[in-house]
Structures are given as structure tokens and as C-alpha cells.
A and B are shown apart, each in its own frame.
Chain A
Amino acid sequence: MIELNGLNKSFDGIKAVDNISVTIKEGSVFGLIGTNGAGKSTVMRLMTGVLKPDSGKVLIDGENVYNNVSAKSKFFFISDDQYFFATANAKDMERYYSKLYPDFDKGAFYEYLIRFGLDAGRKINTFSKGMKRQLILLLGICANTKYLICDETFDGLDPVIRQSIKSIFASEIEKRQLTPIIASHNLRELEDICDHVGLLHKGGVLLSKDIEEMKCSILKVQCVFKNDKEREKAEKSMTVLKDDVRGSLHTYTVRGTQEDVERLFASLETIFFEVLPLSLEEIFISETEVAGYDIKKLIFG
């Protein structure tokens, strides 16, 4: 388990991370979402012990990560701009990492290289950006660490490769309880892979929730009431996060289970009603708007 407790970090008086507390459970995929400058990379660098927090703690399986080799041996960090040794090839990098990570699976690494069409003997500085990303992801996966911490790692990967990587992730999660932690500015990129999402904004966590839980607890209801009395009755009985009215058609975003909502509307006099599931994007929009943020601006620009 990775625990971030009351984490703070400032650069030259500018607060980059503001009192963040997040818990990342093992065996799940954690997505960290935020716009550019939201503090994702700083959180990642704090999480991996690259940066020392001004205050607060980062614990990896109960161990403080900063300057701690034991804690660092439990994860592999892929930064947003990964460094490879000058003139090194994939083989050289494997040699380096396999010495640092004793469980490094060399066999799997070379198999993956073939599968992804990467030449083990070719100098990395001749690789494209996407190829470099693939290579570092493969190195990270084959390091066989408990946690794989990726900062904007899926950017620059084509959909096919992205899907392949995701399937490797899935298999590793199943096989050995790998816990990938992925930071991205793109919510859609993480939607189909993350179990848990943390939303960062201006250095703080706006929300951190389990995706399934969120999906189950927020619903969209479209309805045409027979009269205003019925509408008022409905609105009083629900936790309405958002109400969109077009003519007589009300579209509510409400908190609650599907059963409860259906039961409520069945008891009311309506011309029409329908309960609809929300996409992750819509859930985020609703949740953050409640908190007073315009999520469309935050996540989708």
C-alpha cells in the first residue's frame, strides 16, 4: 500500500502540492488525473523519493520512501521524460536494471521486445519517442516490482500499443498483483484501465474515489413531470447534483442507487422517466461541479 499523508511541496514559494493525502491499495490500477501544472509529476516524484516533501510522508508498505533503498526496490518509476544512458541500447538498459532489480525477468523482457518489434541491439537514441516509451514500459513491467509508477507514460503511444500494454498490465495484475499508478492529464485515457482515480487540481486532491463506487452512486434521470407539485416532491426526495431543463424535460444528475431512484420515480406522477448510467467523464463533471469547479475546463481544456 502506498500512503501519502498530508504531503506538501513548494518550489520557490509556489505551492506545487498542497496537503495531499491519498491511499493507493495494492492490486488495483490507480489513476492520477490533473491538468498541466496540477502537481501530478510532483506527486509522482515525491512518491518515488526523487523529491523530499516539505512536510508529510510518503510510505510504501509502511516504509518512508525518501533515501530508502528498501522502499525504492518495491517500485519502478517511469518519468514523463525518461532518461536512457547515452549510446545505450535496450540490452544495456536491461543489464543495468536487472542488476538493480533482482527479480527482473530477462526472458520476458526479450520476448516483449520481439513482440513489440524493438531491436535489442539498436541504440536507444535512434528510437522514436513512442518506441522509447514502449521500451521503458517493458523495462518497468519486467523489473517485477510491486508498484509501477508511470508519469504521462501513455502519451505518444499509438492505440494498438496502448492496448497491448494495458493487456500486459491486466495480466500482471492478475498474475502477481502489480499495482500500476498512472498519472495523466487525459481522463479518457485512464477510463478503461483504472480502478481508482484521484483528481488533482492546483496541488490538492479534489477527489479520490473508486470508479465502480462512483458509477454506482451517481445516476442521470430524464423525466417529464405531470405538474410542478410532482417535480417539487421529486426534487425534495433526491440529492440533486445537477438539474438541466429543456422545455418540460428535466435531466437530473442525482446521488443514489439505481433501485432507489427507480422506486422514487415510480411513485411519482410522470409522463416519462428513464434512469441512465453516467460515463466516468460525466461523473467527474458532476462531482467537481459540486465542489465548485468547472471540470470541463480542468480536464478537457
Chain B
Amino acid sequence: MTSKNSFLVNLKQNAERRTWSILLFAITFFFVLPVTLMVNFSSLIKYTEEQFLAKQMLNSFKDVVAVNPFIMAVTLIFAIIAAIHGFSYLYSRKKTDMYLSVPVSIQKRFVAIFINSMLMYIVPYIIFLVITIIIAGTYGVNDTYIIKMAFVSFGINTLFYIAVYAVTSIAVMLTGNLPVTVLGTATLLCYENGVKLLLLGMSSNYFKTYSQYSDEKFLKTWFSPLGIFVKFQGDFSSALKDSLNVMPIVGKAALHLAVLAIVYMVITFLLYKARPSEACSKSMAFKRSKKVIKRLIMIPIALVFSLFFESASGGSLGGAIFGMAAGIILCHSVIQAIYEQDLKAAFKDKRSIIYIAVVAGFIFAVFKFDIMGYDKYIPNENKLVSGTISLDSPFGNRASFYDNEYDAVTGDKYRFENMNIIDKSLLCDIAYTASQEIDNYTKGYGSEENPYTMTATMKYTLSNGKNVYRNIYFDYKENEELLNRIYADVNFKENYIQLFDSVFTSNESLYEIQYSNDFITETLEQNKNSELINAYKKDFIDMSFSDVSNTLACGYLEMYAVVKDENKQDTDMDNSMTIYYEFPVFDSFENTKAFLANEGIDINQKADKDDVFSITVYNYEVNTQPVEITDVEQIGQILDSVYSRSQEYYSAVDFVLNDNYDVDITFKPEKYNGYYNVTCGFKKGMVPDFIEQN
């Protein structure tokens, strides 16, 4: 036999058969690469100032060859076209009669289609990439790093192309005509992420203790090349933008895509071998897969419908059941009609309807009625390694946190990464307390029935490496002892705020520190930073929950520094940034108070009534016109009973200002070199009579 010959002729014939795809790919790359670059360059030359031109052209070059979003879209579409077009003969009886009767092994035909599919993408891409680099060079835009990144991008795009090609090929093998293949490809590419989003949506909708931090690992895409690549593109672009080392990101994504591509190609080949040739023009190629695929699609759709209709009906169970029934019947009818290519077949296979109703109903019940006890989760102490308690007060909302690159992060995220409480009995007690109180959640925490609500997000790290996140709620009045135990944990304290962190301590000398309670702001001597910070740390470590549970902060320390982000290489951008912290000072902070007193600062000092120009009081309860008070005596009375809103930010949990009033204090211009306002509120029960009477 002429095996080599037949392979080459098959390769050549296959290439000839796909001429239009080859042309389409080539023309597209021509426009996406060199043409885009030249259009960008000519526009920049026309409209950019001379001094910025070189840099802008370099950026444009990078955008076109390394982080070009069009290439991602083009790659996705091309991979789908290549796979469908490559195996399109499987859709036609007369083509299968010809191709399957000639003496060419199916392995060789498969490989020939694959090689051509790769070449038709790789060849024009690489040619036009090189041309683009040459064009950029003729404009004097020449950067080795960007060129390297262009080829890195080419490599990872190619892997993405192969992986999507493989997924589409699986869809081709499973189906028998073009429209169903396209639907199948979309389903295979999006199913994993779609189902995960649905489960997360249901979790957040039905579980009271669900935390969004549970999403992070769960949402990681494992099986969809599209999901992996979208994530990679985001990470790659930002890393390139920040001039960070992209290779770890590239390596990880490349490995993942390569493994998927290999696995999917093997599956494709096995399906290709097993695919009955009589499947052409049918909807589905394999009889056995029909029900499985239908059910796998119908279950999530039934659940989506139940969620939608439950929400539309104001959370009624009836709405959810109706939605599920409608979803099952609609989806089943559509799929059946597609399968049978006959609308009359829409209600065939009623057994599947019952099956889906039972399975989807069970899943719905698991979430809706928390059958698995998600909200009453208590970690097994033996399997618990450590934990994080991210309490939302009294410091949760106002504190600032930065990661090692000085990018702002949330307090929860910072604490989850740094706080590792190893007191397992404490963690289990918290979980137990929360599980006992979760039923009160339905009454509405923070409502009149449950006014003393404290919330926290917990992270339990288990011995199998899994992290379990929960939002918990409990009554702090009844659990003061538990809270004091939490506050007594040094690891909790040292990671609750960032004052103890190396990001802060390594830049301690840079900080300018001020004390403020909004009425007064005093700047401290920089050479005493360490002394103040040490005093504050000591007070903070010593602070118990009881110390601060019934008080407002006296004021706060403002600390800010201008730092350089060494990782940011981009010379065109300012790589300096201001990092800023606020740390509250409570009455129990003896060391800090003593230090500040030494510096001549009265931490409780408010405004002098003679410095106040006027006070405007807004009453939102009765919605009357604001009242402006200029009488000095009345101003004095008001000053005695108000606290600044900033103090309230750090209030202990049950100490909030009266929300019915806002008090705007305007100081005389001579006091602060211009009019200066402080927004305050009255303490509950301390609204002066003359205000209430007005």
C-alpha cells in the first residue's frame, strides 16, 4: 500500500477542500495584525504629541501583537470553524460514502484534518505576526520584551485554539448536523461555568450563611478552555500592564490548556472511531448519549427557571415549582424537537420529564430547605487546622488594607490570607453559636426583634486543605464572653488590622501620622512614629471586647505615606502611590492616650462654641426644613451632645448615632482658613429639647 502517499494526498485534498477557511483565516490575520498596527500608528502619528509618541507607539505595538482581544475572539471562532469544516463530511451521506469506502485509514484522515486545521491557523498567524513586527521596526518601534511576549501570546493562543478545536470536534462527533453541532459546542464550552454560576446563585439565594468567598476556588474553571483562557487573558494583560513576570501565569495556563487539548483530542478520536456513519443529518450521533445529554442540559435549566419564577413571584414556593415545571416542559420539548427533527415529537420520552422533575426537585429542595445543613455547619475539631474571623465591626468598614504590591484589598481578603487562629475550640464555639442563632436570621438581624447583631465571615481551614467560608450572625449582647475570647486571641488581633503587617512596618518611618476626631486634627512629630505605634499596638492587643462594646471612638490616627511600587516598571506612569490607614483610638487605650497627652493633644477635645459660625440640623424623621442655629448658647448645647460621623464609623457595636438627625457644624473661616464643616449626629436620647420642639 502507498500509506505515505495516501496520507499526503489526503492532507492535500483536505486542504483543497478547505480553501475558503484558509483564505478567511489569512485575510482576518492580515487585518487583525499588520493593518491594525498601521492604522493605530498613523492615528498616533497624527494626533499624539511628539514627547509621548514613542511610548504610545510601543504600547500600541504591545496591544496589537501581545494582548490583542480580537485575536482571542478570532481564535475562538476559527477553532470552531476549523473543527466543523474539517469534519463536515460527516454531515453528508454522499461524502461519507466516498470517504469511508476509499482505502484510507480513519487514523490518517483524522490526523490529516487535524494537521491542516493547525496549519491554517498557525501559518497565517505567524506570517502576519512577523510582518507586523517588521512594520513596527520600520517605525523604530522595537522592543525585545514585547516581541518575546508576542510569541508567548502566539503560543498560548495556539493552545487555546487546539483546545477549542478539540471541544468543537467532540460536539461534531456527538451530533449529526451543523445547527446542533453549534449548540453542542456552545454547551460544552459554557456548561461548567454555567452550572457553577447556577449553584452559586442558588447558594447565595437559599443559604443564609453563604459567603461570596466560597466562590473563589469553586469558580475556577477546570474543563472549559474558554473559561480558562478568559481568565488567563485578564491576568496576562494586567501582568503585562504592570510589567510583572508573566511566565508563571503563561506556564500555568499553557499546561492546563495543553492537558485539556490532549485529553479532548483523545476523546474526539475515540468518538470519531465509534461514530456511526449513518448519523449524518441526524441530530445526535449516538443513541446512548441522547438521554444523558438531554438530562444534563435540562436539570440546570429547570433550576434556573425555578429561581427566576420564585424571584418573580416574590419568593413563593409555588412560583418556584411552577417555574421548574415550565422549564422542564419547555426545555424537554425543544430538545426533543431538535432530536427528532419533528415538532410533533416534543412530548415523547415522558420518562425523562419525570426523571428530571425528581432530580431537579431534589436539588432544589437541598438548597431551599437546607437539607444538608449548610447553614448549621460546625467544623469537626479533629479535622480543623486553623481559622479566620473577619468581624465586621468595630474596625471592619473603615480600615484600609494593601497587598504586597500596594493594591488595595478588602479587609476580609487580607484577614483570610494572614489570620490563622489555631484555637480550635474557639473556632468551633463560634461555629456552634452561629449555628444555634441562625434561625433568628429569619426574624431579621438588626431589626427591632434582634437589635444586637454582629456579623462576621469565617474561614475554616481543614486538614484536607479545603477552606470553608461562612457568613455568621450572632447576638453580641448574649455572646460577650465569646467575643472577649476572640479579642484575647493575639493572632486575631495582629491580623485584624494591618498595623502589625510587614507592608506597614517596613514603611513605618515614611508615615506621617495625625490624630483627628474631625473637630481637631493634630500632626505628630515623625521621629516619634515608632513610639506611638508601639503604644497603639500594645493598647490594641490589650483591648477586650467589653472595653469597646459600649463606646464610640474618641478619634483616630491617620497614617499615610507615599511609597514607590518597585514592581511597576512602566516609566510612563507614576509609580508612586499614597497608602493610607486609619486606626481608632478608644478611651481604654491608655498608652496611646498618654503619648498623645504628652504631645499636648486632648483626644476628646471638641470645638469651642465661639469658633462655630453656625449649625444646621436636618431632621429626616419629620422631613421638615433644615434649621440653622447661630445662637452661641444653643451651639454650646448642641456641641455637648453630638459626635462626629467619623467617630461613629468606629463605634462599638450597639452605639450608633441617631439616624433621624444630621448636624452640620460650620466653623468660622478664621479658625480653619476658610469655612470648614463637620458632619455629626446626636447620641440616642441626647437630642436637645429646643431641637425636638422645633
Residue on A with the closest CB to B274? A52
Distance between Cα atoms of A73 and B1 in the complex (Å): 8
| Pick from B95, B103, B104, B277: contact of A83, CB under 8 Å | B95
**How many Å from the CB of B286 to the closest CB on chain A?**
13
Please tell me if A293 contacts chain B, counting CB pairs below 8 Å: no
Name the B residues within 8 Å of A272 (CB-CB). none
Name the B residues within 8 Å of A174 (CB-CB). none
Does A86 contact B101, Cβ atoms closer than 8 Å? no
Does A50 contact B97, Cβ atoms closer than 8 Å? yes
Does B100 contact A83, Cβ atoms closer than 8 Å? no
Does A77 contact B5, Cβ atoms closer than 8 Å? no
Does A50 contact B101, Cβ atoms closer than 8 Å? yes
Please tell me if B102 contacts chain A, counting CB pairs below 8 Å: yes
Distance between Cα atoms of A51 and B1 in the complex (Å): 23
Given contacts A51-B276, A69-B105, A101-B103, A86 and B98 within 8 Å (CB-CB): no
Please tell me if A72 contacts chain B, counting CB pairs below 8 Å: yes
Scan B431-459; emit 1 where CB is below 8 A from any A CB, else 0. Answer: 00000000000000000000000000000
**How many Å from the CB of A138 to the closest CB on chain B?**
16
Distance between Cα atoms of A95 and B9 in the complex (Å): 9
| Pick from B5, B17, B100: contact of A99, CB under 8 Å | B5
Name the A residues within 8 Å of B16 (CB-CB). 85
Does A73 contact B103, Cβ atoms closer than 8 Å? yes
Does A86 contact B17, Cβ atoms closer than 8 Å? yes
Please tell me if A100 contacts chain B, counting CB pairs below 8 Å: yes
Please tell me if B619 contacts chain A, counting CB pairs below 8 Å: no
Name the B residues within 8 Å of A100 (CB-CB). 2, 6, 9, 102-104
Does A79 contact B103, Cβ atoms closer than 8 Å? no
Please tell me if B217 contacts chain A, counting CB pairs below 8 Å: no
| Pick from B95, B96, B103, B278: contact of A72, CB under 8 Å | B103
| Contact-residue bracket for chain A | 20 to 34
Given contacts A50-B101, A79-B97, A70 and B9 within 8 Å (CB-CB): no
Name the B residues within 8 Å of A102 (CB-CB). 1-2
Distance between Cα atoms of A51 and B93 in the complex (Å): 11
Scan B89-114; emit 1 where CB is below 8 A from any A CB, else 0. Answer: 00011111110111111100000000
Distance between Cα atoms of A66 and B103 in the complex (Å): 11
Does B103 contact A50, Cβ atoms closer than 8 Å? no
Scan A178-212; emit 1 where CB is below 8 A from any B CB, else 0. Answer: 00000000000000000000000000000000000
Distance between Cα atoms of A67 and B278 in the complex (Å): 15
Distance between Cα atoms of A99 and B6 in the complex (Å): 6
Distance between Cα atoms of A70 and B17 in the complex (Å): 25
Does B106 contact A67, Cβ atoms closer than 8 Å? yes
Name the A residues within 8 Å of B100 (CB-CB). 48-50
Name the A residues within 8 Å of B5 (CB-CB). 99
Beta-carbon contacts under 8 Å, B1-59 to A: 1-2, 5-6, 8-9, 13, 16-17
Name the B residues within 8 Å of A61 (CB-CB). none
Majority SS at the chain B contact face: helix
Please tell me if A250 contacts chain B, counting CB pairs below 8 Å: no
Does A83 contact B97, Cβ atoms closer than 8 Å? yes
Count of A-B contacts with CB under 8 A? Answer: 74
| Pick from A70, A77, A81, A95: contact of B101, CB under 8 Å | A77
Residue on A with the closest CB to B13? A96
Scan B69-102; emit 1 where CB is below 8 A from any A CB, else 0. Answer: 0000000000000000000000011111110111
Does A45 contact B103, Cβ atoms closer than 8 Å? no
**How many Å from the CB of A45 to the closest CB on chain B?**
7
Name the A residues within 8 Å of B6 (CB-CB). 99-100
| Pick from B8, B13, B101, B273: contact of A85, CB under 8 Å | B13
**How many Å from the CB of B482 to the closest CB on chain A?**
67
Beta-carbon contacts under 8 Å, B137-174 to A: none
Given contacts A67-B106, A69-B1, A102-B2, A79 and B98 within 8 Å (CB-CB): yes
Name the B residues within 8 Å of A75 (CB-CB). 101
Given contacts A73-B1, A99-B5, A100-B6, A81 and B102 within 8 Å (CB-CB): no
Residue on B with the closest CB to A54? B276
Name the A residues within 8 Å of B2 (CB-CB). 99-100, 102
Name the A residues within 8 Å of B92 (CB-CB). 83
**How many Å from the CB of A125 to the closest CB on chain B?**
13
Does A52 contact B276, Cβ atoms closer than 8 Å? yes
Distance between Cα atoms of A72 and B101 in the complex (Å): 6
Name the A residues within 8 Å of B9 (CB-CB). 95-96, 99-100
Distance between Cα atoms of A29 and B105 in the complex (Å): 28
Does A81 contact B17, Cβ atoms closer than 8 Å? no
Distance between Cα atoms of A30 and B626 in the complex (Å): 107
Does B97 contact A70, Cβ atoms closer than 8 Å? no
Does A45 contact B97, Cβ atoms closer than 8 Å? yes
Does A51 contact B278, Cβ atoms closer than 8 Å? yes
Distance between Cα atoms of A96 and B98 in the complex (Å): 12
Distance between Cα atoms of A100 and B92 in the complex (Å): 21
Name the A residues within 8 Å of B1 (CB-CB). 69-70, 73, 102
Distance between Cα atoms of A69 and B9 in the complex (Å): 15
Distance between Cα atoms of A242 and B530 in the complex (Å): 122
Name the A residues within 8 Å of B95 (CB-CB). 83
Beta-carbon contacts under 8 Å, A61-114 to B: 67, 69-70, 72-73, 75, 77, 79, 81-83, 85-86, 95-97, 99-102
Does A69 contact B104, Cβ atoms closer than 8 Å? yes
**How many Å from the CB of A223 to the closest CB on chain B?**
51
Given known contacts A77-B101, A83-B92, A100-B6, what 12 new A-B pairs fall within 8 Å (CB)?
A49-B101, A50-B97, A51-B276, A69-B105, A77-B102, A81-B94, A95-B9, A96-B13, A97-B102, A99-B5, A99-B6, A100-B103
The residues of A with any CB-CB pair to B shorter than 8 Å are 11, 45, 48-52, 67, 69-70, 72-73, 75, 77, 79, 81-83, 85-86, 95-97, 99-102
For the complex of A and B, 3 pairs with smallest distance between CB atoms: A99-B9, A77-B101, A73-B103
Offer 11 A-B interface pairs, CB within 8 angstroms, sorted by A: A48-B100, A48-B101, A50-B96, A70-B103, A77-B102, A79-B101, A83-B92, A83-B95, A85-B16, A100-B6, A100-B103
